[in-house]
Structure 1
Amino acid sequence: MKRTVSPESESILLYQELCTLVDMSDGKAQASFIVPPHFRRRFFALINAVNLRLMEDSDNFFGYFLFHMGRDIRCDMESPTGTNFKQAKYIIYFNPFLFLPLAPEQMESTIKHEILHIVSLHLLRAKQLRNEYSPLALNMAMDIVVNTYLSPLPADAVTLPLVNLQYNLTMPLFETFEYYAEEIQLALNRRKKGRNAPDEGSMSEDAVPMRFNPETTHDIWEESDKVDEATLIRFTKKAADGARKEKLSSYLDNLLTELSKQRNERPWYEYLKKIVRSVAAEKKKTTTRRNRRQPERLDLRGDLRSRKARLFIALDISGSISDSEFTQAMEQVLQIIRAYNHDITVIECDNEIRRIYPVTELRDLEERYPKRGGTAFTPVIAYANKEKPDALVYFTDGKGEEKMTLAPAGYKILWLLSGKDRTLSLQKPYGIVKKLTPPDTKDTVLDFDSIEKGGFSMANQERTRDLSEYIRG
């Protein structure tokens, strides 16, 4: 009769065999090491055993999701597991040198970790933010979000208490993915400016990583097949629906509910929020606000933005943008900038600028200017080039010139298209082009913020729950 070996015992035996297969005399193995077929069979038999444990768990969603993923071994990853999208499926990779030393419960957590990244659409979100933040800041921010809900974790996993301690931060639980990335990036910038980063030692390019590295843990995502955002979202929804078999825990149920609401395109106001957040503004010290890094230190002053950023809102009065459509859009704009120090100027235009006036509240909007000619984008661009705003949002039906006689200088543009066709006539828009949300939808900024938490995660869904189970160490 064949003796049944527990996952814990089998992982120990496999790791011992792995060490005998490679030259570990100097504490290093070679990444070019080819895993023998018999070892692969035993290793994936172990993964099947872990998968069975996940399918028997109360949150068996993870087990069913893993069941439909492709699997492979990668000895060059600096993390126990990693994922990407290849040949119309998600692939999960394992580095046996880092995965096998884990306890079975930790193995389960690392697999759940990867699946949470997938259904949180981190593959897309990280790509969209990589020009603003370093890979280290993004990776740690993403890991903080998903690891908050996992236990037990590997000893070197990125957690909120660990990052707060390491970078002298006071970031709270259940904040947004963007918030964590920004705070960590600021801390990294301060550390880089204040002193040289500690030498972590160099590793030969052909050496197997023998410890976790948060800076490269998601590098394997870049090897994914090139598919458009809409396709990847549709596939993720389908995969999640197929894995949902029974009643889920509240946080996972909320996560999948928000995933199901996602359109194939990200809403326009998310791009506006990104633009607003990226506008640089100097800071000044104030005694009316506590220092964000050390709030218990009453002798330290906090920071305030010392100047107002300028946002121009151009409204094409010649096209098919209705008053209700524009009013709803402006309400969303005002909600977005409420937390920021911005001045808003509305520019009503058609083939020329008709009226310019400031707006601080929704009631400041004036009745639409009566004269309506054709559409020309160049007059607004010329005015903006002269006045030098930080950003320009242009509401239009898109029917104007094919080429502008001058290019925007030093500010970002977000084109919001209305009407039946919702296409921009410009061959070169010099900015982001998005479709305006129809006024009868319920997709508000408030709803968006609740989705955005942690990258379409469950981060804002459990503020009322007992937090003690999430506070470890």
Structure 2
Amino acid sequence: MDTDFKSKVEDLYNRSYKIFDRAELFNARRSGSEYHVDIPKDYEEDFFAVVERVTLNLMQDKDNFYGYFLFQMDRKIRFDIDSPSGINFKNAKFVLYINPVLFLQLGMNEMKSTIKHEILHVLSLHLIRIKELKGKVSTLALNLAMDITVNQYLDCLPPYAVTLSSVNLKYNLDMKQFNTLEYYAQNIQGELDLNDEDKNGSEDDSKHNEDTNYGFTPETSHNIWEESSDVDEGTVRDFTEKYIRSAEKGTLSVHVQSLVDKLRNSRPSIPWNIYLKKLLGTVLSGKKKTITIRNRRQPYRLELKGELRNHKAEIVVAIDISGSISNEEFKQAMREVLGIVKNYDHKISVIECDNDIRRVYSVKNERDIKDRKMQGGGTRFSPVFKYCNKNRIDLLIYFTDGKGEKKLDMMPTGYKVLWILSGRSEKLSLQKPYGAVKKLKKVAIVDSCVDLKDIKTDGYSMNNQEPIF
């Protein structure tokens, strides 16, 4: 911390006590009333100038993800929280709350660590996961477990920070490193129960801390989460992913990358085959729009099309033959497709395509499925869409690893699209897919050729958050 910055921090710290009255805070807590303090404009500007300095410092770090994540968040001053910083989700944004009295006592590296601490809570989905544990373990056990989980990956923590070693020592436990939130919470709660402590922590101890000490208090360190907007899990996940996308400016640390992967891969979604059944209900209705018959409901409106019954549904199944989808994955998926459409009058055509269409053949049953022609070239999606537009199909099912163009040469006309990614793929390259994107379930792969890009090399399992050395 340079001399100029240090002097600004010291000045702000001294000015904080001219604004904040500790006795008024304790009286408000005793009476259950809301604590409010008027913050002068010049103080607020000077304080957030310090926060901006920390943000820029984070952005200049090798692991600049935290700086860009923080840049998107709202920031507010709160003298009534029992930790240097806190976070919640309010009004469609993540909000970082900072207690100047506690925050300004920290050095630059400690300031950065306390902000990283809050962002790791978000990435670990703690705001969601604690809902499942509430009522099963005490608030104290939950708060300690959450802090242990994220602090194991941080350096330069404040001296009072909750660590695995300090909790093991205090509660006579032998918990292991790099375990889950649930593991730590259950072990701590077990010891609290043995000691006959109240499930919400010792009220006498909490009152003593409130009356005699102003600082970090584990029992109440995450109370601000209770003020979050009442939103569903999907909304929190969507906004977290949005923040992540904007913050991915460089190489992520192993731990952050694992949290991001876990978040993206754990989203509950309808399996592709179930989604296909729902899609077929709208596509294969046994009717086809036509101009040769008047509309049954409004026969005098000639611009409205009529319907023909007993329409044979034209289905195209495209397979990426660039080497990323295995024969086992494709054949298993095709069996499911045939099983789903068997009750409809349909015609299925299989298109093999890499950067151009290589083969088109019809499939009536499982015996007609051919081994794909291995080309190993690049991938373009547009040739398949050109074929489908020309042949007036009803549904396109595209099996691919997702690595192709960012934009199609032409948009699909008059048919539905379902993208199905390989179980080893992450996302579709198209900015606008014109249809749903689903993933194949993983199957045993026995291809004679191996794509080294598909081999997972990070050696890290987020099932138990333990790195494998």
TM-score calculated relative to the size of structure 1: 0.54
Aligned residue identity for 1:12: E
- Aligned: 1:140 with 2:144: yes
Q: Residue type matched to 1:202 in 2?
A: K
Which residue does 1:415 correspond to in 2?
none
Sort the Cα spacing of 1:125 and 1:443 in 2 relative to 1 into closer, same or farther, 3 A. Answer: farther
* 1:143/1:158 contact within 8 Å kept: yes
Counterpart position of 2:294: none
Among 151, 174, 193, which residue is 1:189 paired with? Answer: 193
Q: 2:122 & 2:254 partners in 1: Cα distance?
A: 18
Question: Taking every aligned residue pair, what percent have the same amino acid on both sides?
Answer: 44
Shift of 1:209: 7.1
SS in 1 for 2:94: strand
Evaluate the alpha carbon distance shift between residue 182 and residue 439 of structure 1 in structure 2; reply closer, same or farther with a 3 A threshold: same
CA distance in 1, matches of 2:15, 2:258: 42
Contact (CA 8 Å) 1:233, 1:264: kept in 2 or not? no
Return the alpha-carbon distance in structure 2 between the equivalents of residues 76 and 24 of structure 1.
Answer: 9
Which amino acid in 1 is paired with 2:186? E
Residue of structure 1 in register with 2:249 after alignment: 245
> Are 1:76 and 1:208, in contact at CA under 8 Å, matched by a contact in 2?
no
The RMSD of aligned alpha carbons is 3.4
Read off the aligned partner of 2:10 and give its amino acid letter.
I
Could you tell me which residue of structure 2 aligns to residue 21 of structure 1?
A: 19
**Native 8 Å contact 2:73 2:96 kept in 1:** yes
More relative contact order, 1 or 2 (CA 8 Å, 6+ apart): 1
Contact 2:144 2:162 in 1 (8 A): yes
Kindly provide the amino acid, as one letter, of the partner of residue 462 in structure 2: I
Structure 1 residue 126 and structure 2 residue 153: aligned? no
Distance 1:35 1:96 in 2: 11
Tell me the amino acid that sits aligned with residue 7 of structure 1. Answer: F
Letter aligned with residue 451 of structure 1 = M
**1:33 and 2:37 aligned:** yes
Alignment of 1:380-395 (within 5 A): none
Partner of 1:441: 441
Counterparts of 1:361-380 in structure 2, within 5 Å, are none
Report how far residue 129 of structure 1 moved: 1.1
* Residue 27 (structure 1) shift: 11
SS of 1:161's partner is: helix
Q: Which residue in 2 is equivalent to 1:45?
A: 49
**Matched residues in 2 for 1:245 and 1:208: separation?**
45
Which residue of structure 2 lines up, in the alignment, with residue 337 of structure 1? none
Judge conservation of contact 1:229–1:265 (CA < 8 Å) in 2.
Answer: no
Pairing 1:64–2:68 present: yes
1:311-322 aligned within 5 A:
none
**Contact 2:54/2:111 (<8 A) preserved:** yes
Q: How does 1:95-174 map to 2 (within 5 A)?
A: 95-174=99-178
Q: Deviations over 1:411-466 (max 9, x none)?
A: xxxxxxxxxxxxxxxxxxxxxxxxxxx9962399xxxx94343xxxxx22x242xx
User: CA, structure 1 residues 16+233, in 2 after alignment: closer, same or farther (shift >3 Å)?
Assistant: same
Counterpart CA distance in 1 for 2:222 and 2:75 is: 16
* CA shift for structure 1 position 197: 5.1
Q: 1:202 aligns with which of 204, 207, 210?
A: 207
CA shift, 1:6, in A, is: 3.9
Aligned equivalent of 1:451, options 454, 458, 462: 462
CA contact (8 A) 1:50 1:104 kept: yes
1:145-184 CA-partner distances (Å, limit 9, x unpaired): 1000111111111100000000000111111211101000
Inter-CA distance 29–73: structure 2 relative to 1 (3 Å threshold) = farther
Secondary structure at 2:218 match in 1 = coil
Structure 1 stretches lacking a partner, 5+ long: 268-323, 326-437, 454-458, 465-473
Aligned to 1:7: 5
Q: Assess, with a 3 A threshold, how the Cα gap between structure 1 residues 266 and 69 changes in structure 2: closer, same or farther.
A: farther
Return the match for 1:230 from 227, 234, 242: 234
Residues 187 and 16 (structure 1), Cα distance of their counterparts in 2 relative to 1, 3 Å cut = same
Distance in 2 (alpha carbons) for counterparts of 1:129 and 1:112:
24
Q: What does 1:207-222 correspond to in 2, within 5 Å? A: 210-222=214-226
**CA-CA distance at 1:28 after TM superposition:** 7.6
Cα separation, 2, equivalents of 1:151 and 1:16: 27
> Structure 2: how far apart are the matches of 1:193 and 1:266?
44
Q: Which structure would you say has the larger Rg?
A: 2
Gaps of 5+ in 2: 29-34, 272-334, 337-437, 445-459
Q: Structure 2 length as normaliser, TM-score?
A: 0.55
Aligned residues: 282
Give the match for residue 89 of structure 1: 93
Q: How has the CA–CA distance of structure 1 residues 117 and 5 changed in structure 2, closer, same or farther, with 3 Å as cutoff?
A: same
Conservation of the 8 A alpha-carbon contact between 2:25 and 2:80: no
> How far did residue 106 of structure 1 move?
0.6
Write the deviation string for residues 44-67 of structure 1: whole angstroms up to 9, x where unpaired.
Answer: 000000001000011100000000
| One-letter code aligned to 1:441 | K
Instruction: State the Cα distance separating 1:234 from its structure 2 match.
Output: 1.3
Cα distance in 2 for residues equivalent to 1:439 and 1:121: 22
SS of equivalent residue, structure 1 residue 245: coil
**Deviation readout 1:99-148 (Å, 9 max, x if unpaired):** 11111111100000000000110100011211211111111111101000
Give, in whole Å, the separation in 1 of the partners of 2:176 and 2:162: 15
Structure 1, residues 281-318: CA drift from partner, whole Å, max 9, x if none?
xxxxxxxxxxxxxxxxxxxxxxxxxxxxxxxxxxxxxx
